[in-house]
């Protein structure tokens, strides 16, 4: 099921009042029911990274081991 949703995603743009399909190459589509699944997996990964003593922190002002942001 998950593979079928993401295998060949297509979106449309209206150009001269006609829909023009184009392939999506990356990312999770906005409003996709699987978006929360990505967040859950990412949080598990982030928690694991924060708990690892071997991973060194970068300290600029305050100590930061991992930063998660919605904007790239």
User: Which tens digits make up the pLDDT trace of 3-36?
Assistant: 776 777 888 888 889 989 988 877 666 667 777 7
Read off the tokens for 44: 């598990």
3-class DSSP assignment, residue 63: strand
Residue 67 exposure: Cα atoms within 13 Å on the Cβ side: 10
Q: Say if strands 62-64 and 58-60 run parallel, antiparallel, or are unpaired.
A: antiparallel
pTM value > 0.75: no
**d(Cα 54, Cα 67) in Å, to the nearest integer?**
17
């Amino acid at each position: 099921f998950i593979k079928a949703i993401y295998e060949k995603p297509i979106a449309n743009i209206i150009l001269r009042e006609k829909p023009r399909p184009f392939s999506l190459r990356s990312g999770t589509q906005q409003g996709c029911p699987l978006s929360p699944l990505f967040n859950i997996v990412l949080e598990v990964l982030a928690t694991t990274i924060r708990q690892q003593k071997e991973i060194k922190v970068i300290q600029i002002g305050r100590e930061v081991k991992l930063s998660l942001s919605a904007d790239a």
